Structure 1
């Protein structure tokens, strides 16, 4: 169904979904998860991961589309080098058309190829002179993204960054940093909640996150609050809760 839609229609839906997350008291984790999910689909990538900087300026994983991308991003973080690290430090996009021929980041390249990825593109989350993170899109085939695809992915990343930095006039860098740190802290609870849902339903971790996120959206609750209730066993999400594909 998605393949039959025009590029304009798919792009419009992506911006609408991003805008829908930018409501009052929005959830940063939900926003960034929506960003990487939509970009992965729009530019025909196979997986994606998103990193943001903590209060000390170190990148941390905040969202991913599957466990393979999550593992590769974690390896990149542990090594302290890779396309997303470069994109974050330079504020510029990084293209790796063939990971097997890349020698700048051996630990990252080894992990990526072992998990079936052959190319990767990294995009900074930036606004003017401020960069708060980076997004990586992975593909199981070699090759570069087209100029339109590169522009679309960077535009969506820019929109999400603007939402984070300017929503409710959050222009003070200290306030923005604190907000992002709270998002990173909440991810620990989200991981615990995913484990609880996986144990209750038999779903994998990615599907468990989707169940958690969809419950929060349907009930207009913050993802972090729902995750805390699930982790503390004060909320049991039905095993057959609807799961979206976005």
Structure 2
């Protein structure tokens, strides 16, 4: 019956991940919820943290509580520990009883003072690259064996799949913003070229040369110079171009 209840919590967690995936507009809130759900589902975990790579180092992007945040930070300071090993080697690292574990001496002493006795660190691999590690901490020994280990691995796999999707969505959102910005800049420059062509009675190529020359002399961006020209002539700032709308897939 205990196993059935645990399996039911895991199934519910999958549903929550899907809901989070649909509702999250940004990566950060999604990561915060992943660690909270993980700490609830993988009992008897006390806390969960998520470590990611960045600029050659590692840092915690989300944690369900102070124990996980401090446990992660100890490892960064010592440059060793289970979550860093999982991140660097791309494999699961389990600690049954830190009191009897001889690995990571610089991490071990400080972690025990916090009350960490066992832990489980699971790599999160996106497109063949280990981008993070999900770190579960417990205050009793051998907390992540049997059902707990199975549920942790299953949840990490589902969390990684969801993370892959939301990162792709973030990339698409960035692309959308870049396209929108490019269109806005192009619109302002085109308006300024029209003004210059009318004032100087010149071609579009000649007007662009004049605009570029002014940009270089003033050491200002082309768009800023164009915006200033439009404001001087019209008395108001240039109007933005219509927003970029991504094409919808045909059903």
Would you call these one fold, judging by a TM-score over 0.5?
yes
Greater relative contact order (CA < 8 Å, ≥ 6 in sequence)? 1
* Equivalent position of 2:37 in the other structure: 38
The alpha carbon displacement at 1:85 in A equals: 0.6
Structure 2 CA distance for partners of 1:138 and 1:169, relative to 1, 3 Å = closer
Listed as ranges, the gaps of 5+ residues in structure 1 are 179-246
Partner of 1:6: helix, strand, or coil?
helix
How much is the aligned-residue C-alpha RMSD, in angstroms? 2.8
TM-superposed deviation, 1:86: 0.6
- Secondary structure of 1:22's match? helix
Task: Note if 1:50 corresponds to 2:50.
Answer: yes
Report the Cα offset of residue 139 of structure 1. Answer: 0.9
Deviation of 1:77 after TM superposition, in Å, equals: 1.1
Based on CA coordinates, which of the two structures has the bigger radius of gyration?
2
149 and 90 in structure 1: CA distance in 2 versus 1, 3 angstrom threshold:
same
Alignment deviations for residues 97-124 of structure 1 (CA, whole Å, 9 cap, x no partner):
0111222212221121101111111111
Q: Distance in 1 between matches of 2:35 and 2:125?
A: 15
Task: Describe the shift of the 1:59–1:47 C-alpha distance in structure 2 as closer, same or farther (beyond 3 A).
Answer: same
CA contact (8 A) 2:86 2:92 kept: yes
Query: Taking structure 1 as the reference length, what is the TM-score of the superposition?
Result: 0.62
CA contact (8 A) 1:97 1:144 kept: yes
- State the 1:40 CA deviation: 1.7
Matches within 5 A, 1:77-156: 77-127=76-126, 129-156=128-155
Does the Cα contact within 8 Å between 2:120 and 2:136 map onto a contact in 1?
yes
Q: Is the 8 A contact 2:124 2:160 kept in 1?
A: yes
Query: Structure 2 unaligned runs (5+)?
Result: 175-251
Distance in 1 (CA, whole Å) between partners of 2:73 and 2:151 is 25
Distance, in Å, in 1 between the alignment partners of 2:23 and 2:12 is 20
Change (3 A) 1:143 1:107: same
CA contact under 8 A between 1:35 and 1:156: conserved in structure 2?
no
Give the conservation status (yes or no) of the 8 Å contact 2:74–2:111.
no
Task: Please tell me whether the aligned partners of residues 27 and 166 of structure 2 are also in contact (alpha carbons under 8 angstroms).
Answer: no
Matches within 5 A, 1:172-191: 175=171
The change in CA–CA distance for 1:4 and 1:84 in structure 2 (over 3 A counts) is closer
Partner Cα separation in structure 2 for residue 138 and residue 61 of structure 1: 14
CA 85–5 in structure 1, closer or farther in 2 if over 3 Å, else same? same
Structure 2 CA distance for partners of 1:25 and 1:100, relative to 1, 3 Å: closer
